[in-house]
Amino acid sequence: MVSEAQQIGYDLLKTGTLVSFRILKEEVLQAPADEAEFGLRVHLRFVAEEGEEDIDEDEIAENTAEWGSFGFLFILAVLSFAEAKPRNASILEYAEKDELKLADFIERLRFVRGELHYDANYIRGRRIKTRIAVRSDGTVTVDTVGRGKSVLRWLERVQGKKLMQLVGQPQQPTS
C-alpha cells in the first residue's frame, strides 16, 4: 500500500513532468578549493507547450510558476539525489539504495525574497550541492557545485529525451 507521503511525491513528480521549459543560459562555476570540482548555473524559463505558442509568453511562464513550481523543484531534487554520491566522511551515512523522501524535500524548501528555493547540501551521506530558485515570473536558476554538468542530464530527463540506446543501433531523432 502506498503511503500518503509517497502518493504526494508521485503527484509532484507527475506535475513536474508537465512543466515545459527552455534553457536560456549555462555558466560553469569554479569551486573555490578545487578547479576539478566545477559546477554549473543554468538559467531557465517556463514556456508554452507545443500548440500553445499563440499565448503570451510572459503569461505562460507566470501561470506555469503558479501550478508547476513545486513539482518542478521536486523532480529536480529527486534526480539530484539519485545521482549524488558520498564524499569523505559522508560515506558512513551513505546507503546505495535510498530515495529522496517528501520530508527531505519539504525540510529544504524556503521562500526567500519572493522566490521559492530548494537548497540541499548533504542528505543521508549523499553530497547533493544543489540549489534551485523559482521566481513568480517563471524564471528558474539551478546551481550545482562539484556535480559537473549533471544538471543538464536531469533537465533532459525531465524533457523526456532519450539518454541511452543499444550499442550498434541507429540513433533515434529527438524532438
Percent of the chain, pLDDT > 70? 83
**Is residue 175 very low, low, confident or very high in pLDDT (cuts 50, 70, 90)?**
very low
Residue with the three cell numbers 510572459 = 58
The answer to whether residues 64 and 2 touch, using CB atoms and an 8 Å cutoff, is no
Q: Structure pTM?
A: 0.84
Longest dimension (CA), the chain: 53
Q: Is 43 exposed, middle or buried (0-12, 13-18, 19+ CB in 10 A)?
A: middle
Q: How far apart are CA 71 and CA 14, in angstroms?
A: 7
149-162 tens-digit pLDDT: 899 999 999 988 76
Per-residue pLDDT at 137 exceeds 70: yes
The whole-number pLDDT of residue 25 equals 96
Q: How far apart are CA 149 and CA 40, in angstroms?
A: 6
The answer to whether residues 159 and 53 touch, using CB atoms and an 8 Å cutoff, is no
Arithmetic mean of pLDDT, 105-134: 94
The whole-number pLDDT of residue 146 equals 85
3-62 tens-digit pLDDT: 899 899 999 999 999 999 999 999 988 766 666 678 899 999 999 876 666 678 999 999
Percent of the chain, pLDDT > 90? 55
C-alpha cell at 94: 551513505
Q: For residues 169 and 50, which has the higher predicted lDDT (pLDDT)? A: 50
Per-residue pLDDT at 143 exceeds 90: yes
Per-residue pLDDT at 126 exceeds 90: no
Q: For residues 56 and 119, which has the higher predicted lDDT (pLDDT)? A: 119
**Is residue 167 very low, low, confident or very high in pLDDT (cuts 50, 70, 90)?**
low
C-alpha cell at 91: 560515506
- Report the interhelical angle of 150-158 vs 57-83 (nearest 10°): 120
